[in-house]
Amino acid sequence: MVVRVPFDEDVDVSVVSWNSWPDLRKSLPALVAQDYPAYRILVVDNGSTDATPDEVEANFPDVTVIRSGRNGGYTGGNNIGFVQSRSKYVAVLNPDARPERGWLRELVRALESNPNAALATSKVLLASDPARVNACGLDVHLSGISFCRGVADAEEQHVLTADVAAVSGAAFLARRDMLEEIGGLDERFFMYMEDAELSMRARLAGRDVLMAPRSRVVHEYELAMPAWKFYYLERNRLFMLANIFRWRTLVLMLPVLLLAEAGVWTYAARCGPAMLAAKARSYAGVAASLRSVLRRRASVQKVRRADDRALLERMTPALPNGLAHQTGTLTSVVNHCFRGYFLILRQLVRW
């Protein structure tokens, strides 16, 4: 039973676009056809240089198009959607993710069934092979590296609602009151890692994060790691760690973080000069933002309801085995070290 709120819609769905009409022409029909009784679709256009907003307005008159006039990235665009929301829930959907008919209903059901849950994410399937998983939420490593949970698994391996470390930014639902309490997406991130950081902030506030397996989307996903993406991933995971953990916890995590840095530099070196330069720029990006890092950290820590110990328990000490083909035996070696030090951290971090 959906709990009604005193507005016409229970859910606002935010879809951020940037020259995204080829994707939206496939995903919006499925979004418009959801079997949920009351919801509003907001397409936030991030200053497209093509006719994307005009095409959406002409072909989907019931969709509200917000022309932001600038490219604020995934974070800035969705924050505009959050600000425009007036409903109990706010959903986020990538323009290249096509939802099945019960997608929204099942996300709402997951949050209605768990009053302490702040976020629920969908089962995201690969468009190239819909019987295989792209992500059932995210796992978050002790070093802050996040990766798709269940990637390449058979879809039927994930049929139960699960508590997960983080939502997948491709498709998730948030309580609007939670967003008002802890803030929206961190706009410094622009793109990548913002889903993990939002989830960690929700956990910092003492809330749960769920994966709703009957909420399904098919995602046009292709695994690639260009240098510009590597830069955002590396810079933003450092932003996230600075936001979330107490300083004394970060000091105790230093062996993990230094080992992870060694592994990341090794990976970058194997990939070539462009990746090495991107890794170096990630440090420069954090250093250039030091004041904003400290201001943002102070703001985030005000919502703290959970101990760092509880946050660490939701993280994983092991990097995925799939990295082995890129890093050789390094992944298996460092995973032994990570697991060992994780046992030590669990004894040391009592706050």
Q: Give one DSSP letter per residue of 113-167, joined into a string.
A: H-TTEEEEEEEEEETTEEEEEEESSEEEBTTS-EEETTTT-BGGG--S-EE-SB-
The Cα-based distances of 99 to 26, 35, 244 in angstroms read 10, 11, 32
| DSSP state, residue 63 | S
For the chain, domain boundaries: 11-219, 227-348
When pLDDT is cut at 50, 70 and 90, the band that residue 5 belongs to is very low
Hunting for tokens 């706009």 — which residue is that? Answer: 187
272-295: average pLDDT: 96
DSSP string of 187-251?
GGG-SSSHHHHHHHHHHHTT-EEEEEEEEEEEE-------HHHHHHHHHHHHHHHHHHS-HHHHH
Question: How high is the pLDDT of residue 184?
Answer: 95
Residue 326: both structure tokens together: 């890129």
Neighbours of 32 (CB within 10 A): 12
Strand-pair category, 162-163 with 208-219:
antiparallel
* Residues ≥6 apart with Cβ < 8 Å to 89: 10, 11, 12, 107, 108, 111, 173, 174, 175, 176
In the chain, what is the straight-line distance between the N-terminal and C-terminal CA atoms, in Å? 39
The angle that helices 273-288 and 227-244 make with each other, rounded to 10 degrees, is: 30
Question: How high is the pLDDT of residue 49?
Answer: 95
* C-alpha span between 181 and 202 (Å, rounded): 9
Q: Could you tell me how far CA 88 lies from the centroid of its own chain? A: 20
Mind listing the pLDDT tens digit for each residue in 46-61? Answer: 999 999 999 999 999 9
Question: How high is the pLDDT of residue 4?
Answer: 36
- Helical (H) or strand (E) element with 169: none
Output the average pLDDT for the chain. Answer: 93
Mind listing the pLDDT tens digit for each residue in 116-159? Answer: 999 999 999 999 999 999 999 999 999 999 999 999 999 999 99
The Cα-based distances of 163 to 74, 110, 273 in angstroms read 25, 11, 39
Mind listing the pLDDT tens digit for each residue in 222-270? Answer: 888 999 999 999 999 999 999 999 999 999 999 999 999 998 999 999 9
Residue 241: both structure tokens together: 């760690």
Share of the chain above pLDDT 70, in %: 95
Question: How high is the pLDDT of residue 332?
Answer: 77
Query: For residues 11 and 40, is the Cβ–Cβ distance under 8 A?
Result: yes
The whole model's pTM is what?
Answer: 0.93
Question: How high is the pLDDT of residue 326?
Answer: 53
Question: How high is the pLDDT of residue 222?
Answer: 83
274-289: average pLDDT: 97
Residue 191: both structure tokens together: 């793109």
Question: How high is the pLDDT of residue 322?
Answer: 55
Query: For residues 335 and 318, is the Cβ–Cβ distance under 8 A?
Result: yes
* C-alpha span between 243 and 119 (Å, rounded): 19
336-348: average pLDDT: 93
The CATH H-level (homologous superfamily) assignment of domain 11-219 is: Spore Coat Polysaccharide Biosynthesis Protein SpsA; Chain A (3.90.550.10)
37-41: average pLDDT: 94
Question: How high is the pLDDT of residue 334?
Answer: 83
Residue 83 confidence (pLDDT) above 70? yes
